[in-house]
């Protein structure tokens, strides 16, 4: 059964960057295109810290698929609630 777009899920196959991660199209959620967990070190995703030329570090989530998996909506909302965000 094909899942319809909803408040927990939608897939924008017309986006110029779609797919931005290597995931099966039938499991690709675009709702959290910019991950709301980016600021948290306990996000549960796969990330690495990259040092910039100016010495600052940024979080690179290029290999992370947590926000793009349909089944992770409740997980993301739980983390946001715990952080009172």
Q: What is the pLDDT along the chain (85 residues), one digit of tens a residue?
A: 456 667 888 899 999 989 888 888 888 999 999 999 999 888 999 999 999 999 999 999 988 999 999 999 999 999 999 887 5
pLDDT, position 5: 62
What are the residues whose beta carbons fall under 8 Å from the beta carbon of 27, sequence distance 6 or more?
Answer: 69, 70, 71
Phi–psi pair at 82, nearest 5 degrees: -60, -35
Element (H, E) at 74: helix 73-82
What pTM value is reported for the model?
0.76
**Residue-range domain boundaries for the chain:** 25-82
Which of 58, 30, 29, 63 lies closest to 45 in space, CA to CA?
63
């Amino acid at each position: 059964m094909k899942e319809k777009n909803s408040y927990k899920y939608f897939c924008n196959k017309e986006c110029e960057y779609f797919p931005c991660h290597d995931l099966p199209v039938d499991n690709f959620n675009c709702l959290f295109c910019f991950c709301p967990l980016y600021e948290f070190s306990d996000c549960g995703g796969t990330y690495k810290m990259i040092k910039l030329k100016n010495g600052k570090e940024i979080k690179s989530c290029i290999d992370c698929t947590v926000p793009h998996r349909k089944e992770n909506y409740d997980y993301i909302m739980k983390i946001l609630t715990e952080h009172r965000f």
